[in-house]
Amino acid sequence: MEPLIIHFLGTGGGRHAMCTQRRRTAGIRLAQGRTQVHLDPGPGALVHSIYAGLTPMRLDGVVVTHCHPDHYTDAEVLVEAMTGGTTRRGGVLAASRSVLEGGEGIDLSVSRYHQGLAGRVEWLEPGRRFEIGGLDFEAVEARHSDPLGIGLRVEAETGKIGYTSDTALFSELGKAHEGLRLLIICTMWPRGNPLKAHLCTDDALELIRTAKPRCTIITHFGLKMINAGPAAETAYLEEEAGVPVVAAEDGMTATLGEDIIFKGPRKRDEPRVVQA
């Protein structure tokens, strides 16, 4: 079986982290064998993909969960790369209806021209399933200030992962992310700092307790979380939830093989191996 490699090209979220680039907002690259999919390509996705040796010209899909610039800004340029510099139709563009059409007072964020370049366009709403290469995706409910936004479940050869995207905590969120080997939680703010339409550390703890993933990563940090220190928040979550919890770093990878191996961006970083 081919391992799934998750490249955290950016771990920042929200306006202030995006505008200051205290943490990058380049999104996540999923790679399994020859299949490569870029998830939520915010500002910097093109540049940091290239710096990481993940050429956008090899993309098979671009997935955008909702219509906010820290999630969609580089989507059009990645679609152009995915289609050989617009020389051919190809690849999959999968996005919420707000991204593709607009609605609820917001305009579309990927032009109809760029939608027409993709070999296939998937309009995402909760329950919608689609496939890109060897990866099977399912859109799940999220409750955010973009009311048409979604989260994701992804089934790879080596297990199922979930991605909350930006969402408030609600009673059905845990059920939407049950049965996962790895859950990626967008955790904007630290303990004691609730934020409307987003998750803070307290919310992440409740979600872990209800969804019961075998392992968790927190990412998509706002400035309050960055200043508080994500490592301290994960230590708290791990102790309270009783499952491994990792704070994502810009340039970190998580490899789902027989074990889950987390490797930091620096050569000197010792990998963390989680048997999950």
Convert the pLDDT of each residue in 98-131 to its tens digit. Answer: 999 997 778 999 999 999 999 999 999 999 999 9
Concatenating the DSSP letter of every residue in 53-95 gives T--GGG-SEEEE-SS-HHHHTTHHHHHHHHTTTTTS-EEEEEE
Q: How is residue 274 written in tokens?
A: 């989680």
Spans of the chain below 70 pLDDT = none
Whether residue 253 contacts residue 7, with contact meaning beta carbons closer than 8 Å, is answered with: yes
- The alpha-carbon radius of gyration of the chain (Å, integer) is 17
H/E segment holding residue 40: none
| Cα separation, 269 vs 81, whole angstroms | 32
For 4-271, the fitting CATH number among 3.40.570.10, 3.60.15.10, 3.90.78.10, 3.40.50.970 is: 3.60.15.10
| Cα separation, 2 vs 4, whole angstroms | 7
pLDDT of amino acid 135: 98
Distant-in-sequence, close-in-space partners of 139: CB < 8 Å, separation ≥ 6: 96, 124, 125, 126, 127, 128, 129, 150, 151, 152
pLDDT of amino acid 104: 75
User: Does residue 238 sit in helix, strand or coil?
Assistant: helix
Instruction: Give the residue among 49, 110, 43 at the shortest CA–CA distance from 79.
Output: 110
pLDDT of amino acid 105: 79
pLDDT of amino acid 106: 84
